[in-house]
A and B are shown apart, each in its own frame.
Chain A
Amino acid sequence: MENRIRELREEFRMTQQELAKKVGVSRQTIISLENGRYNPSINLAFKVSKAFDKLIEDIFIYNEEED
């Protein structure tokens, strides 16, 4: 699933480590999320959206063709 995490992180001038600490995951998880290698649970997606004060759909881009 595509997402705008890296883009928003840079906009907020946040490091991967800072974002990881904020949402309660490891930095490696943030890297995997940004690279699209790992799709977050709804719980983690909410935490990430809360960290950027955005809606989930503003961050994660659902592509029906992937299914």
Chain B
Amino acid sequence: MNKYVKNEIKKSFAFILGGIIIGVLGYFQDGKDQKSLYALCLAFTIIGIAQIAIYLSVRNKPDYVDRIKAEKEERSVFIRDKAGKSAFWITFGAIAISSNLSQFTKLTVADYGNIILVFMCIGYFSFFFYNLKKY
């Protein structure tokens, strides 16, 4: 396996480990802090797993590895910025809607915030892959 890919996978595992540590810390909390820390744990884990999936899918494709390595290449920056922009506005809208939905459901604003945190990660990577294909 390419050395660069190996190192990036190790970093991704460290990211997941960070999420697990946050989750463990959350176990010893109570109330809404616990839920927020669990949501952060889930977000870290999703990001770490997504990154590992990306690097494993390209480990035997030197052309794709070069592409990922070219992080500062303008097209890569363009794709990441576009994905981030899309994820930001969707998250913004979701927060605006969920802050009002709490009046009609048993979930609190903090609960919606935790859910949005997780879906923001899923949304960003979804738009990232979509833009990677599109451009």
Where the two chains meet, the residues of A that have a C-beta atom closer than 8 Å to any C-beta of B are: 17, 24-29, 32, 37-38, 40-41, 43-44
Contacts and interface: CB of A to CB of B under 8 A. Distances in A.
Interface in B46-93: 63-64, 66-67, 70, 73-76, 78
A26 B65 CA distance: 10
Given A32-B135, A37-B135, A38-B135, A25 B63 contact: no
B106 interface: no
Contacts of B66: 26-27
A32 B67 contact: no
Chain B binding surface, main DSSP class: helix
Give the interface residue-count category, chain B: 10 to 19
Contacts of A37: 134-135
Contact of B70 (A26, A32, A43): A26
Nearest to A41: B74
Given A32-B135, A37-B135, A38-B135, A26 B74 contact: no
Given A26-B75, A28-B64, A43-B74, 9 more contacts: A27-B63, A28-B63, A28-B67, A28-B75, A29-B73, A29-B74, A37-B135, A38-B78, A38-B135
A9 B73 CA distance: 21
